[in-house]
Protein backbone atom coordinates (compact mmCIF):
# COMPACT_ATOMS: atom_id res chain seq x y z
CA UNK A 1 0.00 0.00 0.00
CA UNK A 2 1.31 3.48 -0.85
CA UNK A 3 0.39 6.95 0.34
CA UNK A 4 -0.06 9.70 -2.23
CA UNK A 5 2.03 12.84 -2.51
CA UNK A 6 -0.15 14.45 -5.13
CA UNK A 7 -1.91 17.45 -3.62
CA UNK A 8 -0.71 16.60 -0.11
CA UNK A 9 0.89 19.20 2.16
CA UNK A 10 4.48 18.11 2.77
CA UNK A 11 6.94 19.94 5.02
CA UNK A 12 10.67 19.53 4.43
CA UNK A 13 12.89 20.71 7.27
CA UNK A 14 16.36 21.63 6.04
CA UNK A 15 14.85 21.95 2.58
CA UNK A 16 17.32 24.64 1.47
CA UNK A 17 20.26 22.31 2.07
CA UNK A 18 22.10 20.07 -0.36
CA UNK A 19 19.92 16.94 -0.13
CA UNK A 20 16.86 18.90 0.98
CA UNK A 21 16.69 21.08 -2.14
CA UNK A 22 16.92 18.07 -4.44
CA UNK A 23 14.19 16.41 -2.37
CA UNK A 24 11.93 19.48 -2.70
CA UNK A 25 12.31 19.33 -6.49
CA UNK A 26 11.40 15.62 -6.50
CA UNK A 27 8.34 16.25 -4.33
CA UNK A 28 7.10 19.02 -6.63
CA UNK A 29 7.42 16.75 -9.66
CA UNK A 30 5.15 14.31 -7.82
CA UNK A 31 2.52 17.01 -7.24
CA UNK A 32 3.08 17.73 -3.55
CA UNK A 33 2.36 21.13 -1.99
CA UNK A 34 5.68 21.82 -0.28
CA UNK A 35 6.60 23.98 2.69
CA UNK A 36 10.30 24.34 3.54
CA UNK A 37 11.62 25.19 6.99
CA UNK A 38 15.28 26.21 7.11
CA UNK A 39 17.32 28.57 9.27
CA UNK A 40 19.79 29.10 6.38
CA UNK A 41 22.75 28.42 8.67
CA UNK A 42 24.16 26.08 6.02
CA UNK A 43 21.38 25.92 3.45
CA UNK A 44 20.86 28.59 0.82
CA UNK A 45 17.90 29.98 -1.06
CA UNK A 46 20.09 29.70 -4.16
CA UNK A 47 19.65 25.91 -3.88
CA UNK A 48 15.91 26.48 -4.41
CA UNK A 49 16.24 28.87 -7.37
CA UNK A 50 14.44 26.44 -9.67
CA UNK A 51 11.35 26.20 -7.48
CA UNK A 52 11.22 28.99 -4.88
CA UNK A 53 8.11 30.47 -6.49
CA UNK A 54 6.35 27.11 -6.16
CA UNK A 55 6.83 26.52 -2.43
CA UNK A 56 6.11 28.16 0.92
CA UNK A 57 9.31 29.05 2.75
CA UNK A 58 9.64 29.53 6.51
CA UNK A 59 12.97 30.77 7.85
CA UNK A 60 13.53 29.64 11.41
CA UNK A 61 15.03 27.27 13.97
CA UNK A 62 13.13 24.00 14.45
CA UNK A 63 13.84 24.20 18.20
CA UNK A 64 11.55 27.25 18.33
CA UNK A 65 8.05 25.93 19.18
CA UNK A 66 6.48 28.60 16.96
CA UNK A 67 8.52 27.37 13.98
CA UNK A 68 7.93 23.72 14.81
CA UNK A 69 4.19 24.40 14.87
CA UNK A 70 4.31 24.76 11.07
CA UNK A 71 4.33 20.95 10.86
CA UNK A 72 1.28 20.45 13.09
CA UNK A 73 -1.22 20.01 10.27
CA UNK A 74 1.09 18.55 7.61
CA UNK A 75 0.18 15.30 5.95
CA UNK A 76 3.86 14.40 5.81
CA UNK A 77 7.08 15.79 7.29
CA UNK A 78 10.47 14.86 5.90
CA UNK A 79 12.92 15.94 8.59
CA UNK A 80 16.40 16.76 7.27
CA UNK A 81 17.28 19.85 9.33
CA UNK A 82 20.62 19.21 11.00
CA UNK A 83 23.88 20.54 12.34
CA UNK A 84 26.64 18.60 10.56
CA UNK A 85 29.36 16.30 11.86
CA UNK A 86 32.18 18.84 11.64
CA UNK A 87 30.12 21.41 13.55
CA UNK A 88 29.65 18.88 16.35
CA UNK A 89 33.38 18.82 17.01
CA UNK A 90 33.50 22.59 17.41
CA UNK A 91 30.18 23.10 19.22
CA UNK A 92 28.74 19.83 20.54
CA UNK A 93 26.04 21.46 22.66
CA UNK A 94 24.38 23.34 19.78
CA UNK A 95 24.76 20.30 17.53
CA UNK A 96 22.88 18.06 19.94
CA UNK A 97 20.28 20.76 20.58
CA UNK A 98 19.26 20.89 16.93
CA UNK A 99 19.67 17.24 16.06
CA UNK A 100 17.94 15.77 19.11
CA UNK A 101 15.85 18.52 20.75
CA UNK A 102 14.70 19.85 17.39
CA UNK A 103 13.39 16.42 16.45
CA UNK A 104 11.45 16.26 19.71
CA UNK A 105 9.89 19.70 19.06
CA UNK A 106 8.68 18.62 15.62
CA UNK A 107 7.23 15.33 16.82
CA UNK A 108 5.45 17.03 19.69
CA UNK A 109 3.97 19.61 17.31
CA UNK A 110 2.70 16.78 15.10
CA UNK A 111 1.32 14.84 18.05
CA UNK A 112 -0.70 17.87 19.10
CA UNK A 113 -1.85 18.48 15.54
CA UNK A 114 -2.99 16.21 12.78
CA UNK A 115 -0.40 13.44 13.25
CA UNK A 116 0.59 12.93 9.63
CA UNK A 117 3.56 10.77 8.62
CA UNK A 118 6.95 11.74 10.07
CA UNK A 119 10.01 10.64 8.08
CA UNK A 120 13.21 11.06 10.08
CA UNK A 121 16.23 11.26 7.80
CA UNK A 122 19.06 10.00 9.98
CA UNK A 123 22.70 9.29 9.09
CA UNK A 124 25.11 6.39 8.65
CA UNK A 125 27.28 8.20 11.22
CA UNK A 126 25.18 6.58 13.95
CA UNK A 127 27.07 3.32 13.29
CA UNK A 128 30.40 4.89 14.23
CA UNK A 129 33.07 2.29 14.88
CA UNK A 130 30.63 -0.60 15.19
CA UNK A 131 32.37 -3.84 14.26
CA UNK A 132 30.77 -5.06 11.05
CA UNK A 133 31.42 -5.64 7.39
CA UNK A 134 28.29 -4.09 5.97
CA UNK A 135 26.27 -2.08 8.46
CA UNK A 136 22.75 -3.44 8.80
CA UNK A 137 19.87 -2.00 10.77
CA UNK A 138 20.56 -4.56 13.53
CA UNK A 139 24.21 -3.48 13.94
CA UNK A 140 24.71 -2.05 17.42
CA UNK A 141 25.45 1.68 16.94
CA UNK A 142 28.70 3.08 18.34
CA UNK A 143 28.83 6.75 17.29
CA UNK A 144 32.19 8.50 17.62
CA UNK A 145 30.92 12.11 17.51
CA UNK A 146 28.19 14.12 19.20
CA UNK A 147 26.69 14.48 15.72
CA UNK A 148 26.30 10.70 15.45
CA UNK A 149 25.00 10.51 19.00
CA UNK A 150 22.50 13.31 18.38
CA UNK A 151 21.22 11.71 15.18
CA UNK A 152 20.84 8.40 17.03
CA UNK A 153 18.93 10.21 19.78
CA UNK A 154 16.62 11.64 17.11
CA UNK A 155 16.00 8.12 15.81
CA UNK A 156 15.16 6.81 19.27
CA UNK A 157 12.83 9.73 19.99
CA UNK A 158 11.08 9.10 16.67
CA UNK A 159 10.64 5.41 17.45
CA UNK A 160 9.37 6.26 20.95
CA UNK A 161 6.62 8.42 19.45
CA UNK A 162 5.64 5.48 17.25
CA UNK A 163 5.57 3.04 20.17
CA UNK A 164 4.04 5.33 22.81
CA UNK A 165 1.62 7.44 20.79
CA UNK A 166 1.08 5.27 17.71
CA UNK A 167 2.38 8.01 15.43
CA UNK A 168 3.12 7.13 11.82
CA UNK A 169 6.91 7.31 11.63
CA UNK A 170 9.70 6.00 9.41
CA UNK A 171 13.46 6.28 9.99
CA UNK A 172 15.74 6.31 6.93
CA UNK A 173 19.53 6.09 7.28
CA UNK A 174 21.21 7.45 4.13
CA UNK A 175 24.90 6.88 3.66
CA UNK A 176 27.22 9.48 2.03
CA UNK A 177 25.72 11.74 -0.65
CA UNK A 178 27.37 13.68 -3.46
CA UNK A 179 26.38 15.54 -6.61
CA UNK A 180 25.48 19.03 -7.87
CA UNK A 181 25.13 21.68 -5.15
CA UNK A 182 27.15 19.64 -2.66
CA UNK A 183 28.94 21.74 -0.05
CA UNK A 184 32.58 22.70 -0.51
CA UNK A 185 32.55 25.72 1.79
CA UNK A 186 33.09 26.23 5.52
CA UNK A 187 32.34 23.48 8.02
CA UNK A 188 29.84 21.93 5.60
CA UNK A 189 32.54 21.15 3.01
CA UNK A 190 32.57 17.53 1.84
CA UNK A 191 35.42 15.51 0.40
CA UNK A 192 34.16 15.09 -3.19
CA UNK A 193 33.48 18.77 -4.05
CA UNK A 194 36.65 19.82 -2.21
CA UNK A 195 38.73 17.30 -4.18
CA UNK A 196 37.14 18.42 -7.46
CA UNK A 197 37.71 22.14 -6.88
CA UNK A 198 41.27 21.57 -5.68
CA UNK A 199 42.03 19.44 -8.73
CA UNK A 200 40.54 22.04 -11.10
CA UNK A 201 42.59 24.76 -9.39
CA UNK A 202 45.79 22.69 -9.56
CA UNK A 203 46.07 22.55 -5.76
CA UNK A 204 46.96 19.49 -3.64
CA UNK A 205 44.10 17.15 -2.76
CA UNK A 206 44.17 17.02 1.04
CA UNK A 207 43.62 13.50 2.41
CA UNK A 208 43.08 13.35 6.16
CA UNK A 209 44.90 10.33 7.53
CA UNK A 210 46.16 7.47 5.39
CA UNK A 211 43.25 7.59 2.92
CA UNK A 212 42.31 3.95 3.50
CA UNK A 213 39.02 4.98 5.13
CA UNK A 214 36.02 4.08 2.96
CA UNK A 215 32.61 5.56 2.29
CA UNK A 216 29.45 4.38 0.52
CA UNK A 217 28.60 7.23 -1.88
CA UNK A 218 25.10 7.63 -3.36
CA UNK A 219 24.19 10.23 -5.99
CA UNK A 220 21.95 12.89 -4.46
CA UNK A 221 19.20 12.73 -7.11
CA UNK A 222 18.88 9.00 -6.41
CA UNK A 223 18.58 9.73 -2.71
CA UNK A 224 15.91 12.38 -3.27
CA UNK A 225 13.85 10.15 -5.56
CA UNK A 226 14.09 7.19 -3.20
CA UNK A 227 13.16 9.29 -0.18
CA UNK A 228 9.98 10.27 -2.02
CA UNK A 229 9.17 6.67 -2.89
CA UNK A 230 9.98 5.23 0.52
CA UNK A 231 8.19 8.04 2.36
CA UNK A 232 4.93 6.98 0.72
CA UNK A 233 5.22 3.26 1.47
CA UNK A 234 2.85 2.12 4.19
CA UNK A 235 4.89 -1.08 4.58
CA UNK A 236 7.71 0.88 6.24
CA UNK A 237 5.62 2.30 9.09
CA UNK A 238 7.53 2.20 12.38
CA UNK A 239 10.70 0.84 10.81
CA UNK A 240 14.35 1.82 10.42
CA UNK A 241 15.98 1.39 7.00
CA UNK A 242 19.38 1.94 5.38
CA UNK A 243 19.71 3.38 1.90
CA UNK A 244 23.07 3.46 0.15
CA UNK A 245 24.85 2.53 -3.05
CA UNK A 246 26.36 -0.65 -1.62
CA UNK A 247 29.96 -0.07 -2.72
CA UNK A 248 32.94 0.97 -0.60
CA UNK A 249 35.22 3.62 -2.09
CA UNK A 250 38.47 4.43 -0.29
CA UNK A 251 39.43 8.09 -0.08
CA UNK A 252 42.68 7.30 -1.91
CA UNK A 253 40.69 5.71 -4.76
CA UNK A 254 38.37 8.72 -4.83
CA UNK A 255 41.34 11.07 -5.17
CA UNK A 256 42.68 9.03 -8.10
CA UNK A 257 39.29 9.05 -9.85
CA UNK A 258 38.91 12.83 -9.43
CA UNK A 259 42.39 13.44 -10.83
CA UNK A 260 41.65 11.15 -13.80
CA UNK A 261 38.29 12.79 -14.55
CA UNK A 262 39.58 16.34 -14.26
CA UNK A 263 42.83 15.62 -16.09
CA UNK A 264 44.61 17.50 -13.34
CA UNK A 265 48.23 17.07 -12.39
CA UNK A 266 47.64 18.09 -8.79
CA UNK A 267 49.41 16.10 -6.07
CA UNK A 268 47.77 14.19 -3.22
CA UNK A 269 48.89 15.43 0.21
CA UNK A 270 48.25 13.44 3.38
CA UNK A 271 47.54 15.54 6.47
CA UNK A 272 46.47 14.88 10.06
CA UNK A 273 43.38 12.67 10.55
CA UNK A 274 40.05 14.30 11.28
CA UNK A 275 38.88 13.83 14.91
CA UNK A 276 36.24 11.13 15.24
CA UNK A 277 36.64 9.99 11.62
CA UNK A 278 35.21 6.57 10.78
CA UNK A 279 37.40 3.88 9.21
CA UNK A 280 34.68 2.52 6.94
CA UNK A 281 31.04 2.81 5.94
CA UNK A 282 29.13 0.35 3.78
CA UNK A 283 25.34 0.01 3.65
CA UNK A 284 23.60 -3.33 3.90
CA UNK A 285 20.38 -2.66 1.98
CA UNK A 286 18.89 -6.16 2.29
CA UNK A 287 16.03 -5.00 4.50
CA UNK A 288 14.82 -2.13 2.32
CA UNK A 289 14.85 -4.42 -0.72
CA UNK A 290 12.42 -6.73 1.06
CA UNK A 291 9.91 -3.85 1.08
CA UNK A 292 10.68 -2.07 -2.19
CA UNK A 293 12.53 -2.29 -5.48
CA UNK A 294 15.28 -0.06 -4.08
CA UNK A 295 18.23 0.12 -6.48
CA UNK A 296 20.37 3.21 -7.07
CA UNK A 297 20.01 4.29 -10.70
CA UNK A 298 23.18 6.37 -11.17
CA UNK A 299 26.49 4.51 -11.08
CA UNK A 300 29.29 5.98 -9.01
CA UNK A 301 31.59 6.88 -11.90
CA UNK A 302 28.68 8.39 -13.85
CA UNK A 303 27.59 10.44 -10.86
CA UNK A 304 31.13 11.60 -10.25
CA UNK A 305 31.46 12.72 -13.88
CA UNK A 306 28.21 14.70 -13.53
CA UNK A 307 29.53 16.31 -10.35
CA UNK A 308 32.82 17.24 -11.98
CA UNK A 309 30.89 18.82 -14.88
CA UNK A 310 28.77 20.82 -12.42
CA UNK A 311 31.79 22.26 -10.63
CA UNK A 312 33.59 23.01 -13.91
CA UNK A 313 30.68 25.30 -14.80
CA UNK A 314 30.22 26.82 -11.33
CA UNK A 315 32.94 29.45 -11.52
CA UNK A 316 36.65 30.00 -11.06
CA UNK A 317 37.77 27.16 -8.76
CA UNK A 318 40.47 29.32 -7.18
CA UNK A 319 37.85 31.93 -6.25
CA UNK A 320 35.47 29.29 -4.90
CA UNK A 321 38.22 27.78 -2.77
CA UNK A 322 38.44 31.06 -0.89
CA UNK A 323 35.38 29.72 0.98
CA UNK A 324 37.05 26.41 1.82
CA UNK A 325 38.45 25.51 5.23
CA UNK A 326 40.98 22.68 5.20
CA UNK A 327 40.35 21.78 8.85
CA UNK A 328 36.65 22.59 8.88
CA UNK A 329 35.94 21.22 12.33
CA UNK A 330 37.98 23.79 14.28
* Active site residue ranges: 147
Task: Identify whether the C-beta of residue 20 lies closer than 8 Å to the C-beta of residue 43.
Answer: yes
Distance (Å, rounded) from C-alpha 113 to C-alpha 118?
12
Length of the chain: 330
| Paired residues of 121 in beta bridges | 172
CA 56 to chain CA centroid, Å, is 22
Q: Are 282 and 134 in contact (CB under 8 A)?
A: yes
- In Å, how far are 53, 66, 118, 142, 225 from 95, measured between CA atoms? 31, 20, 21, 18, 27
Under 8 Å between Cβ of 114 and 50? no
324 and 189 Cβ atoms separated by less than 8 Å: yes
Q: Give the integer Cα–Cα distance in Å for 157 and 108.
A: 10
Residue 28 CA to residue 10 CA, distance in Å, equals 10
Quote the CA–CA distance of 143 and 149 in Å, as a whole number.
Answer: 6
For residue 161, the Cα-to-chain-centroid distance in whole angstroms is 22
Amino acid sequence: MSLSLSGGRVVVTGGAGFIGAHLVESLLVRGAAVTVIDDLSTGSLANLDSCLADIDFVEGDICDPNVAAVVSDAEMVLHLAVRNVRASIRDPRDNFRVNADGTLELLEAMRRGGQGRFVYVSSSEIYGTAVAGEFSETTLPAPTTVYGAGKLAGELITQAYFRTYGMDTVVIRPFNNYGPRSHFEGDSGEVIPKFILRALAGRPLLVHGDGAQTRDFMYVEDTADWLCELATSDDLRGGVFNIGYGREVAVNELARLVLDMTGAGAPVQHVAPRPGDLPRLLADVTLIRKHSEFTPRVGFEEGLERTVAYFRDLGDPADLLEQERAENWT
